[in-house]
Amino acid sequence: MKKIYLFFAFSILFLNFTACSDKDDPDPNPAPESKVDYGVFIVNSGNMYSNIDGSLGYIEFGTGDIFQNLFKEANDNATIGDTFNSGYIDGNYIYLAVTDSKVIHVIDRTTFELVKTITTTAGPRQITSYNGKIYATLFGQPGYVVEIDPSTLEITRTIEVGPLPEYIVPFQGNLYVAVSDGYGDGSQASITVIDPSSFNVTRKITGIVNPVNLVTNGNQLYVCSNGQYLSEYPYTQYNYGVYEIKDNTLSEKLCEATYISIRNNKLYYMDASYSYGEEHNYYYGVLDTKNNTSSKWINSEDGVDFPIALGVDPIKGEVIILSYELGEGGYASYSTPGYAKRYTGDGQLIGKYTTGVGPTNMFFNVAE
C-alpha cells in the first residue's frame, strides 16, 4: 500500500507540474511589444549645417505620450543621417527617406530596429506603395523614381522623371509625381505620370510652377504648388496654390496654400508663405472637395509661430500642425526643438507637444 500511495502521489505531482508548465511557461518566442499603437510619427529633419542629425519621434494619441529618438534608441545610438525628409509604413516595415545622406532606412514597425539601409544615387524624398511594390522619388538633377521589392528590399527598376521630384502618389492605376524643378527656371516642372506595369512615363501635365505636395482621397487628386520667390528683398513667395488634376488637366487655382492634407471630402490647407523680415499672416482653411469651395478652419492667432507642415489622421480626422519655435529677433529657430499642435477636425486644440529639431513632416500609424 505504501508503494502504491507513493506512486499515486508522484503521479499527481507530475500531472500538476505538467499542467502548470503548459499554462504558465512563457512563450519562447514572444511577439515584441511596441511603444506605439495609434498615433503619428514625427519626421525631424535636424540641421545639417549645425551638425544636428535628424530623428524619429512619435505622439501616441491614446495616452498623449510623446517619444523622441526612436531610431537612435533602437539601434545602438546610430543616427538617421542628414536631412531626414519623410517616412512611410507598409506591412511590417517603416521606410525612412534621408535626403542628403542618400539612403532609405528600412526599420521594423514594432521594434524600430534597422532591417536594411538602401543606398540611392540621389537623395530620396518621398515614398509610397502600389500593388505590392514600394516607390520613392530621388531628389536630383536629373531626378528619378525607383521601385523597391519589399520581399528583398532591393531596387528593381529606375526611371528618370525630371529635375527635383517631390511627392509621389498612386491614383487610378498610375503613379503621379510632382516634378518641381525647384532650383531651375521652372520650365521642366510638371506632374509626371508613370504606368507602374511598364514603368514608363506616359504623360507630363504642365502649366504649373514648382509643384511639391500631391494628395488623393481615392476619387480626386490635388496638387499644391510652392510657386516662386522674388529675387530681391523681401523675397516674397508668390504664384503658389492648390489645383485639382482631373482627366490629366489642371483646374483653375482653388485656394492659396503652401501645404495640404486630405481625408475623405475635406482637404485641409495652410498658407504659410514666405516674406523675409515682414510680419507673417498665416491662414488655415478647409476645402470641401464635393464642390471645391473653401472656408476658414482655425484662426491664425491660435499661437502657431512658424508652421512648416500639416497632416490629417485618416481614421479620426484629427489634424496635426508642425512648427518651429520662435527664436531670437522674432525668426524661426532652426537649431532647437520645435513642436506639434494637435486639433480635432473642427479646429479644437487637443494638445501641444515638443518635437525634435526641424519637425518638417509626419506619417500616421493606423490599424491596417
Instruction: Return the minimum-mean-pLDDT range out of 63-72, 225-234, 339-348.
Output: 225-234
Work out the angle at residue 331's Cα, subtended by the Cα atoms of residues 325 and 333, and round it to the nearest 5 degrees: 40
Please give the pLDDT value at position 3: 38
pTM here?
Answer: 0.89
The DSSP 8-state label assigned to residue 47 in this structure reads: B
| b (16+ CB within 10 A) / e for 229-256 | beeeeeeebeebbbbbbeeeebeeebbb
Order of strands, sheet of 259-263, starting from the edge strand that comes earlier in the sequence: 259-263, 266-271, 283-288, 293-298
Taking residues 154-174, report their average pLDDT: 98
Name the band, by pLDDT with cuts 50, 70 and 90, for residue 79. very high
Q: When comparing pLDDT for 262 and 280, which is higher?
A: 262
Name the band, by pLDDT with cuts 50, 70 and 90, for residue 350. very high
Q: CB of 192 within 8 A of CB of 179?
A: yes
Q: Does the pLDDT of residue 11 top 90, yes or no?
A: no
Please give the pLDDT value at position 144: 98
pLDDT tens-place string over residues 88-112? 999 999 999 999 999 999 999 999 9
Q: CB of 119 within 8 A of CB of 102?
A: yes
Please give the pLDDT value at position 33: 63
Q: Does the pLDDT of residue 5 top 50, yes or no?
A: no
Please give the pLDDT value at position 328: 82
Average pLDDT, the chain: 89
Nearest to 104 by CA among 117, 86, 113, 94: 117
